[in-house]
Chain A
Amino acid sequence: MIQPNEFDIDTEKGNFHFDTNYAFNAGVGLNEEVVRYISDVKQEEKWILDFRLKAYQTFLKKPVPTHWATEDLNNIDFDVIRYYLAKGQQPSRSWEDVPEDIKNTFERLGIPEQERKFLAGVEAQFDSEAAYSRMKDDLEKEGVLFVGSTEGLSDYPEIFKKWFGKVIPTSDNKFSALNSAVFSGGSFIYIPPGVKLTQPLQAYFRINAENFGQFERTLIIADEGAEVTYMEGCTAPKFETSTLHSAVVELVALKGAKIQYVTVQNWSNNVFNLVTKRAIAEEEAEVRWIDCNIGSRLTMKYPGVILRGRKARGEVLSIALANDGQHQDTGAKMIHAAEETSSNIIAKSISIGKGRSSYRGLVKMPKHLKNCKNNTECDALLINSDSQTDTYPAISVQGDGNSVQHEATVSKVSAEQIFYMKQRGLSEPEAMSLCVNGFVNDLIREFPMEYSVELKRLIDLEMEGSVG
């Protein structure tokens, strides 16, 4: 229906893999030796190794959170997963230097063209490490840093060490602890005071190996008055066995800074996608998460903003699409920790076939604060009679001067709507697509252009195979 465009990552397009010889392979399963191996390969300083080892112990102690989350988490077998696979190369600055098999992968996914068209910088991660990383030269001159996690910690500790693991503590949850123990790859970004990036930075995450766990670590710091948009896309081939993606993403928006973080998650249906994302917003800073979950077997992700400075603003715009065999358990957290802070959450979910979508929200405003505002809207659309949706809002608001609005709706595409649209000549999938696009339309309008077009196309693709 909609023409393919420059940001092209449909599920079928990602469904291939090339055989790759890995120079570094941490083997199968997780123990202290694996943690030491990863740290050793990266030639890390001792404090990082200690951080990892402590995190590993935390990971062991924390239960799998099935007391509140789905039992499906018990199907993750930590002992069959491979935790580190890399070819041992430094990320190339020139596309020509990327190893042939990896280059093939990203060319097929259209990464180099996108970079030329509208991005300020790209990082392409293949399994555990970045294979390619490049930023426009003028940004480098302005002092913008866009590097991998290893490089960030080893070469710029004075910038990154201060915030690393501070927005999301290791012990936040079992999967943030796991990530802290075995992390590799991801983006470390620093935008100096007053520097406003007009084009987005992008990272592309690709899982290529079976039974693999990807644990990237991202830390973005926007210094005072700086502005940046960061976009991430993810794909993986369809394997029979399960794959784990467990990232930790920390954002720091200092006074007056603006960060917009956009995700289009389109993992194949065997991927457990358990990601912790959180931001700190200082005085008058703005953080906006745009989070779209279309792929994966199970996603659990609740991007959050800690509104720590006066007049800070936080926003989560979230779209989840759960098809047969998928559970999108997504939502948002807004922690108001200063006066006159405001937050906005708009979450829309679509459940198709036997798909299930859940919304979990947390809004906190303590008693001593005044003039804090939150608006939460969560809307669910059910396509078929066995589609499922559930909502778990948790709102804790104290104090007199604070205001909260919460609205939730559930709607269904009716047989009469479908008949009406078919009578005008639309096929059933076309009619469904139109309904779904109509449902998310006002939200998608808020997205960067490249993503809104792509998302509409992905929704059409999902609808095509799902009705019959």
Chain B
Amino acid sequence: MNSLKIKNLSASISDQQILKELSLEVPQGEVHAIMGPNGSGKSTLSKVLAGHPDYEVTNGQVYMNQESILGKHADEIARLGLFLAFQYPVEVPGVSIANFIRAALKARLPEGESIKAVEYYKSLYSKMDALGMDRKFTSRALNDGFSGGEKKRCEILQMSMLEPKYCILDETDSGLDIDALRIVSGGVNNLRSQERGILVITHYQRLLEYIVPDVVHVMWDGKIVRSGDKSLAIELETKGYDWIKEEIAA
């Protein structure tokens, strides 16, 4: 079975251990959600999986479709098919969205092959239309001066253009009003497919009303402490994270 498989993963930053033997498997074709309180290590997990150089992995393995990705460079992991939608997308002045996505697509092609401009723009425009993005955006510098909602839409646009095998959405709902949330969720739902695994990281259950997960995991203190179906998210929302704390203590 093809999956994104995380086994006993431990990772630290500046000698502080954040992930503690975390295990999780997201099979191709499924949507999983991770919920957890602030500081439980959700964002760290997404960065470690994406190969952020600041984190030190002290234990465990990560396989993407049976291929080990730990220790690989971030760009290599990305080209193998892992996409991370950032909680805080970084501003890159001077680099237009159109040029950036094109360069990212080109980086996936064999040396010497190039992207056909007409087809590229056709595909870009249709995806922007679906996300309710003005076409003027293509020439705007990446995330530079974007509102929170614009940044998140731009992440989903990149995700749909790059067609990754596995997507991690890190707090994609933060900073979105209800209309933007609907559009962004629609964009993610369009990407649901038998060929793709999606991991949604969120603090609130709200997002999961729009992106309905197959499996919900609860993360606490660097590991997964509960897993269940979507009703777990609702239970968590009603009872609060303290409920989990008490459950664990018990």
List A residues at the B interface (Cβ < 8 Å): 1, 3, 411, 414-417, 419-428, 430-431, 434-435, 437-442
Contacts and interface: CB of A to CB of B under 8 A. Distances in A.
A461 to B, nearest CB: 15
B245 to A, nearest CB: 32
Interface string B100-115: 1101101110000010
A419 B92 contact: no
Contact of A426 (B52, B96, B107): B107
A427 B94 contact: no
B94 A441 contact: yes
B104 A425 contact: yes
A423 B52 CA distance: 9
Contacts of A1: 103, 106
Contacts of A423: 50-51, 74-75, 78, 83-84, 86
Nearest to A434: B95
Given A1-B106, A421-B100, A423-B84, 4 more contacts: A420-B89, A422-B78, A423-B83, A430-B107
Contact of A424 (B53, B94, B96, B158): B158
B141 interface: yes
A439 B74 contact: no
Nearest to B92: A417
Contacts of A428: 75
Main secondary structure of the interface of A (DSSP, over half): helix
Contacts of B101: 424
20 contacts: A417-B92, A419-B53, A420-B89, A423-B50, A423-B74, A423-B83, A423-B84, A424-B101, A425-B104, A426-B103, A426-B104, A426-B107, A428-B75, A430-B107, A434-B99, A435-B94, A438-B94, A438-B95, A438-B96, A440-B94
Top 5 closest pairs, chain A to chain B, by CB: A438-B94, A438-B95, A420-B90, A422-B74, A424-B104
Interface of B: 50-53, 73-75, 78-79, 83-84, 86, 89-96, 99-101, 103-104, 106-108, 114, 141, 158, 162
A420 B94 contact: no
A422 B100 contact: no
Nearest to A438: B94
B158 to A, nearest CB: 6
B97 to A, nearest CB: 11
Given A1-B106, A424-B162, A419 B93 contact: no
A150 B234 CA distance: 89
Contacts of A439: 93-94
Contacts of B51: 422-423
B20 to A, nearest CB: 24
A427 B90 contact: no
Given A425-B79, A441-B94, A419 B100 contact: no
A417 B52 CA distance: 12
A154 to B, nearest CB: 50
Given A425-B108, A428-B75, A434 B162 contact: no
B92 A424 contact: no
Nearest to B158: A424
Given A1-B106, A438-B141, A424 B95 contact: no
A435 B144 CA distance: 13
A421 B101 CA distance: 10
A10 B190 CA distance: 45
Nearest to B78: A425
A426 B93 CA distance: 17
Contact of B107 (A427, A435, A438): A427
A441 B139 CA distance: 12
A434 B100 contact: yes
B100 A424 contact: yes
A435 B91 CA distance: 11
Contacts of A441: 94
A437 B142 CA distance: 13
B137 to A, nearest CB: 16
A415 to B, nearest CB: 8
B86 A420 contact: yes
Nearest to B91: A417
B92 A420 contact: yes
B90 A422 contact: no
Given A425-B162, A427-B75, A427-B107, A435 B95 contact: yes
B2 to A, nearest CB: 20
B89 to A, nearest CB: 7
Contacts of A438: 92-96, 141
A424 B90 contact: no
A421 B86 CA distance: 11
Contacts of B114: 3
Nearest to A424: B104
A424 B93 CA distance: 16
B11 to A, nearest CB: 16
Contacts of A424: 78, 83, 100-101, 104, 107, 158, 162
A426 B75 CA distance: 6
Contacts of B162: 424-425
A430 B74 contact: no
A241 B1 CA distance: 62
A385 to B, nearest CB: 15
Contacts of A416: 90
B103 A419 contact: no
A435 B53 CA distance: 20
Contacts of B83: 423-424
A437 B96 CA distance: 11
B103 A434 contact: yes
Contacts of B107: 424-427, 430
A5 to B, nearest CB: 14
Contacts of A430: 103, 107
A431 B83 CA distance: 17
Nearest to B90: A420
Contact of B74 (A414, A419, A435, A440): A419
Contacts of A417: 90-92
Most chain-B CB neighbours within 10 Å: which of A411, A420, A431? Answer: A420
Contacts of A442: 94
Contact of B52 (A414, A419, A427): A419
A431 to B, nearest CB: 8
Given A428-B75, A434-B99, A434-B100, A421 B108 contact: no
Which one of B99, B104, B108 has the highest number of Cβ atoms from chain A below 10 Å of its Cβ? B104
Contacts of A411: 93
